[in-house]
């Protein structure tokens, strides 16, 4: 299983536990905003999108799959 698929599955679990959080997506920095200097090209990010349009951007560069899941759920616990 690749990271993008894993993050999508984590998003499904997150949506079950917190229905206002619609989805999770995995991106490389260059795929988020090619013109922005805020994101480094080869860094890895998870973007959690809420139903009101709010987006939370988590940096997961170099993390294992279990660390990515822990990061998503620990950061979104009180959101």
CA atoms of 30 and 67, how far apart (whole Å): 22
Tens digit of pLDDT for each residue in 11-57?
A: 999 999 999 999 999 998 877 766 666 667 778 999 999 999 999 99
Q: What is the mean pLDDT of residues 5-13?
A: 96
Is the pLDDT at 58 greater than 70? The verdict is: yes
What is the domain range of residue 24? 3-75
Q: Provide the pLDDT for residue 43.
A: 86
Q: Provide the pLDDT for residue 30.
A: 78
Q: Provide the pLDDT for residue 71.
A: 94
- Domain count of the chain? 1
| Total residues found in the chain within this entry | 79
DSSP 8-state code for residue 8: H
CA atoms of 3 and 9, how far apart (whole Å): 10
Q: Provide the pLDDT for residue 40.
A: 73
Is 76 within 8 Å of 50 (Cβ atoms)? no
């Amino acid at each position: 299983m690749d990271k993008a698929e894993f993050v999508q599955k984590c998003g499904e679990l997150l949506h079950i536990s917190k229905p206002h959080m619609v989805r999770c997506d995995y991106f490389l920095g260059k795929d988020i905003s090619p013109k922005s200097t805020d994101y480094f090209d080869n860094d890895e990010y998870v973007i959690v999108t809420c139903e009101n349009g709010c987006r939370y951007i988590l940096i997961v560069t170099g993390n294992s799959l279990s660390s990515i899941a822990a990061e998503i759920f620990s950061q979104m616990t009180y959101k």
